[in-house]
Amino acid sequence: MEKEHSKDQMAKIRNFEKGFFATHLIDIGEKLKLFETFCRAKEGLTIPDLASKLGLNEPYLKIWCQTAYHLEILDCDQLGRFRLQPFLDEILGDKSHFRNYLANISLSVNFLAKFFGEYPEYFQSGRIAENPYTPEISKAVFEVTKNFPLVFFSMILPQNDLLKQMLERGIRFLDVGCGRGSLIIQLARAFRNSTFVGVDPDSYGIEEAENKISQLGLEKQVSVKNIGGGDLPYNNEFDMASMVVTLHEIHPDIRVKVVEKIYQALKSDGQLLILDFPYPDKLEDFRNPMYEFGILDQFFEVCAGFMHLNVQEQNEMLQKVGFRNIQRMTIGKGMFEFITATK
């Protein structure tokens, strides 16, 4: 019995290693345009045809395809034509699909791996990593998060008539941590009576947001500023404010100040909307799948000085600042938690 248990534990660890290989295989496939090519060729392609189409080395490509078949990423028919397994066209092929996961793989392989290599030193010294947001990383993070606003349109607004009615009637909306402005741009196009302001300390994201706003001719409805939440200059100006996967990204030293500034920016009875990963407060919940994104994100970001708050910590902070009527809703089978609070 003990021997069998040892085998199970070894299989678990080997599976982690297998995931490492699979992640890199997917990243290589994306860089070689293999997934988008398979996505267009629904009937599949033989290795010679695929090598010819993309100008790749056939013996190397054969090993890639066979390994992807082993990992159950590809299937193959009796004619030797390889194709993506069912539903992987939307997850690995079509980059416009909201389920596409290639950006997450790319971020992990090309950026997170480098940071993890430096982590032993941080764990020994307790030093905080310097701001990693170069233009390249800013772009990579945007690709990962660009579909988060779809959660508002597909999962939140359909279930919250009050928010939808307010936006339709016409309000002033503040987005703290707006990134490249994806949320407020999409909201502006859907709700023409409302006006939107986005703020973010990432200058690269703000520049991209300004270009997109200009390109769409939304300057009268949408504006963005390159400032952090702690420097918000507003007083009683907004009916609604949002933080989309932003609260945990605010350094603990200034987090309360940022929330106070948002409270100050809101009108009386104004609404604060928070979309973020839920984080457990009890050890037994660290094996609950609904907390997976928060747990793994926290492990990555701990050396950058960012800390997730559990439900009790969030409530205490919001109440301390003055917010009331705090309500929560689980989104996307537990991946997100949507929080509303009233000034």
pLDDT tens digits, 216-271:
999 999 999 999 999 999 999 999 999 999 999 999 999 999 999 999 999 999 99
HEC sequence for the chain: CHHHHHHHHHHHHHHHHHHHHHHHHHHHHHHCCHHHHHHHCCCCECHHHHHHHHCCCHHHHHHHHHHHHHCCCEEECCCCCEEECCCHHHHHHCCCCCCCCHHHHHHHHHHHHHHHHHHHHHHHHCCCCCCCCCHHHHHHHHHHHCCCHHHHHHHHHHHCHHHHHHHHHCCEEEEECCCCCHHHHHHHHHCCCCEEEEECCCHHHHHHHHHHHHHHCCCCCEEEECCCHHHCCCCCCEEEEEEECCHHHCCHHHHHHHHHHHHHHEEEEEEEEEEECCCCCCHHHHHCHHHHHHHHHHHHHHHHCCCCCCHHHHHHHHHHHCCEEEEEEEECCCCEEEEEEEC
User: Tens of pLDDT along 43-55?
Assistant: 999 999 999 999 9
pLDDT computed for residue 227 by the predictor: 95
- Catalogue all structural domains in the chain, each as residue range(s) with its CATH number: 2-100 (1.10.10.10), 135-342 (3.40.50.150)
Half-sphere exposure in the Cβ direction for 103 (13 Å, CA): 21
pLDDT of amino acid 3: 64
Rounded to 5 degrees, what angle do the CA atoms 249, 254, 257 make? Answer: 115
Q: Are 270 and 343 in contact (CB under 8 A)?
A: yes
CA 206 centroid distance within chain: 17
- Token pair recorded at residue 186: 């999409």
> What pLDDT sits at residue 129?
81
- Give the pLDDT score at 334: 67
User: Of 267, 190, 276, 215, whose CA–CA distance to 236 is shortest?
Assistant: 267
- Angle (CA) 203-208-213 rounded to 5° is 120
The neighbour count for residue 142, using CB atoms within 10 Å, is 17
User: β-strand 266-276 against 238-244: which pairing, if any?
Assistant: parallel
Instruction: Give 10-residue mean pLDDT values along the chain (343 residues).
Output: 78 95 97 96 95 97 98 97 95 86 91 90 89 70 76 84 93 95 94 97 90 96 95 96 94 95 97 95 94 93 91 96 95 84 97
